[in-house]
Amino acid sequence: MKNVLTIAMPKGRIFEEAAELLRKAGYRLPPELDESRKLIIDVPEEELRFILAKPMDVATYVEHGVADVGIAGKDVLLEEERDVYELLDLKISTCYLAVAGMPDTKMNDVAPRVATKYPNVAEAYFREQGEQVEIIKLNGSIELAPLIGLSDRIVDIVSTGRTLKENGLVEYERIEDVTSRLIVNPVSYRLKDSLIDDLVARLHQVVSTEEF
User: What is the residue extent of each domain of the chain?
Assistant: 5-93+179-209, 95-177
Residue 16 has pLDDT above 80, yes or no: yes
Q: What is the pLDDT of residue 175?
A: 97
Per-chain mean pLDDT for the chain = 93
Look at residues 156, 158, 126 and name the one whose alpha carbon lies nearest to residue 140.
156
The CATH number, out of the four listed (3.40.190.10, 3.40.1190.20, 3.40.50.1000, 3.40.50.2300), of the domain defined by the range 95-177: 3.40.190.10
Each residue's pLDDT tens digit, 144-198: 999 999 999 999 999 999 999 999 999 999 999 999 999 999 999 999 999 999 9
48-95 tens-digit pLDDT = 999 999 999 999 999 999 999 999 999 999 999 999 999 999 999 999
Proportion of the chain above pLDDT 90, given as a percent: 85
Q: Which residues contact 109 (CB under 8 A, 6 or more apart)?
A: none
Structure letter (DSSP) for residue 39: S
Distance of alpha carbon 87 from alpha carbon 81, whole angstroms: 15
Overall pTM surpassing 0.85 (yes/no): yes
Q: 34: pLDDT confidence band, cut at 50, 70 and 90? A: confident
pLDDT of residue 211: 64
Q: Regarding the domain delimited by 5-93+179-209, which CATH topology (the fold level of the hierarchy) does it fall under?
A: D-Maltodextrin-Binding Protein; domain 2 (3.40.190)
- pLDDT the model gives residue 140: 86
Quick check: do 5-93+179-209 and 95-177 share a fold? yes
Contact status, residue 188 vs residue 7, Cβ threshold 8 Å: no
Look at phi and psi of residue 26 and say left if phi exceeds 0, alpha if psi is from -120 to 50, else beta. left
